[in-house]
Amino acid sequence: MDHLGLDLQDIDISLWGSDLILFIGLLLAIFLSIYSMLVVNKEGPEKLRKALLYAIVPLLAIFLAVVMLKVLAQIQ
């Protein structure tokens, strides 16, 4: 047990291979590929790094929130 009182063995590791996580990852990959093509066509390759950073941060936050909700659901 750690200092939060959670036993890490209570968490089901199989949630990482669940269909929901894979589906969200696939949607993120499709969105980022389309978004990057649009940015390159409109503003050129030099703007791509900044545009991808602005696209990845909110999507990563949503992905991590879904993972945390699944972990919390597994604990309870």
Give pLDDT tens digits for 14-47: 555 566 777 777 787 788 777 777 777 777 777 7
The single-letter code of the amino acid at 27 is L
pLDDT score for 1: 46
Q: Identify which has the larger pLDDT, 39 or 2.
A: 39
pLDDT beyond 60 at 12:
no
Domain boundaries, the chain: 34-76
Q: Read off the DSSP letter of residue 64.
A: H
Q: Read off the DSSP letter of residue 3.
A: T
For the chain, what percentages of helix, strand and coil (3-state, to nearest 5) are there?
Answer: 85, 0, 15
Share of the chain above pLDDT 70, in %: 72
The closest alpha carbon to 25, from 65, 52, 60, belongs to 60
The SS3 of residue 2 is coil
The band of 49, judged by pLDDT with boundaries at 50, 70 and 90, is: confident
